Amino acid sequence: MSDATFSGRSELRDVRSALRGMVITVGFFSVFMNILMLTGPLFMLQTYDRVLPARSESTLLALALVMAFMFGIMGLLDWARGRLLTRMGAEFQARLDRRVFGALIKRAVSGELIDEKTGAGQQLKDLEAINRFYASPIFAALFDAPWVPIFLVGLGFFHPWIGAFAVAGGIILALSALLNQVSTRTSSVKAAVSGFHSDRYADQLRDEAETIRSLGMQTNAFEKWSKSRQKALALSVKSSDTGGAYTTISRTFRIFLQSAMLCLGAWLVLRGEIGPGVMMASSILMGRALQPIEVLIGQWPMVQRAMRAWDHIAELLSQVPTDRQTVELPYPKARVEVQGISVVPPGGARPTLRQLSFSINPGEAIGVIGPSGAGKSTLARCLTGVWGPSSGKITLDGAPLEQYHPEKLAEYIGYLPQRVALFDGTIAENIARLAQDFDSARVIRAAQKADAHDMILQLPDGYNTMVHAAGTRLSGGQIQRIGLARALYGDPVLLVLDEPNSSLDNEGSLALNRAVAAMKADGKAVLIMAHRPSAIQECDKLLVLEDGQRKAWGPRQQVMSDMLANVRVIRKTNAEGLA
């Protein structure tokens, strides 16, 4: 096991250790519950050996009252233990929800959301699996399991042959549990992974439902998904068949052992070595002693699921460490320095930006142009802190971006990605970056800066109009302007726009230029990655990228003039060559 993986497991153990008080309480309840489990056998023993020979109704009444009281206490403890285990599972999940969610987001940014072998990326479901395991009868059975050998050995006090028979039956059931674990381990893992791939493909098809429907791909898509689905079902059936066989065998064998114990007891009664009460008590106690083993065998798939979930979460936490605590720096000025950065995208082999340097000052708008694949979107991700440079550094008001907490940095640097996504919720919530307790005035101010306020008011419910990630009736231009308002929310000092007018009409493009001009007037800075000339009308300087390197940099008019001059020279050279 690597040190990193050990670190992830250590973090999980720390969370589990924080629940030690609940575990101790559950163990305390379990001790008394298992002691009270002796109520039935002891009542049977006293009834056969004292009440029936003496024919005493008063003794029977007294024993019945004591028995009812003991079973009542046992039921109360069982109820309390179940509630406590449910809350322990919920507490475990609650303590890790934020950490796992944050780690998944960071891992998705690094391009490692899905692991083909283990189905990683499902760790939020893994947390739920561990939660269900803690709240399940099988986890409670683990507290009862240590009493199994105590009860089996205790049966030996009734008679040596009874004790030997009980121990032999317990060993056989324990071996059955071990064989169940070994034989179902591989098949259950294969079934889980295959099911994950099938579900993931179904999600992809659902997200692209419009394309599938419009291109007549529905039948072909179903057939492709069906093959994956059938494979997952076959593996699941195989795993269930194997586990079910062991469950049936163990349950049948435990019932057989109880009757066999009764038969052995009757034979010993006939020989005069024990009384009838011991015969009945031995059969009842035998069934109670072996019950935890039967539960473990019957619900072993849940144990395997929880073990896989633990491994997946430990791996995730080991790969994505927690954000280190940073000193909160003062509100920065719009002064950005990009100093010789080279960037290799996550999972990539070669840099998409190489030794790039330039600066942005307050009140400036910088346009970044270049062919597709030149590195414009890579630069946008670096400036927002989504990706880190492999060499060089980027500073905001003199401080490297790494010295800002990611969420504080997002307040200072607004970002409009090339593909704008809206999330389930109202338009106001989307502009407020999903904040549940947002300032309405700030939301409206951001929409006004993006020149989207009047557009939003024309919608059926205005700012309370619901949108959905799976699909919305808003046009691409409306979504783009809402995304711009979201980028402007919180009064950022730097606005990074990646192809901001790709879906905008003429009115939207004019609104974008007005927003850029307003940012400059406020002493803020704007960086625009663009293909269309209309997007760089408000830019003071241009940065031209080609193959990840700076090809030109300077005032907009000068750079444009130099580029046009170069084009004329190339055309003239080509014409002379043809002549």
Q: Is 505 helix (H, G, I), strand (E, B) or coil?
A: coil
Tens of pLDDT along 361-376?
999 999 888 888 888 8
24 C-beta neighbours (distance < 10 Å), count: 10
Answer whether 3-319 and 336-578 agree in fold: no
Query: Quick one: pLDDT at residue 276?
Result: 83
| CA–CA gap between residue 7 and residue 15 (Å, rounded) | 13
Residue 68 pLDDT level (bands cut at 50, 70, 90)? very high
The closest of 102, 101, 255, 249 to 180, measured between CA atoms, is: 249
Query: Quick one: pLDDT at residue 174?
Result: 79
pTM of structure: 0.73
Residue 102 has pLDDT above 50, yes or no: yes
Q: Which helix (H) or strand (E) holds 541?
A: strand 541-546
Q: Where are the domains of the chain?
A: 3-319, 336-578
Q: Is 324 helix (H, G, I), strand (E, B) or coil?
A: coil
| CA–CA gap between residue 104 and residue 122 (Å, rounded) | 9
Tens of pLDDT along 265-297?
889 888 888 888 888 888 888 888 888 887 887
For 228-251, what is the mean pLDDT?
Answer: 76
Please give the residue that has the higher pLDDT: either 323 or 541: 541
The DSSP result for 396-436, as a single string, is: ETTEEGGGS-HHHHHHHEEEE-SS----SEEHHHHHTTT-S
CATH code of the domain made up of 3-319: 1.20.1560.10
Query: Quick one: pLDDT at residue 119?
Result: 46
Residue 3 has pLDDT above 80, yes or no: no
CATH top-level class of 336-578: alpha beta
The DSSP result for 542-555, as a single string, is: EEEEETTEEEEEEE
Please give the residue that has the higher pLDDT: either 119 or 83: 83
| CA–CA gap between residue 258 and residue 290 (Å, rounded) | 10
| CA–CA gap between residue 493 and residue 511 (Å, rounded) | 19
| CA–CA gap between residue 19 and residue 17 (Å, rounded) | 5
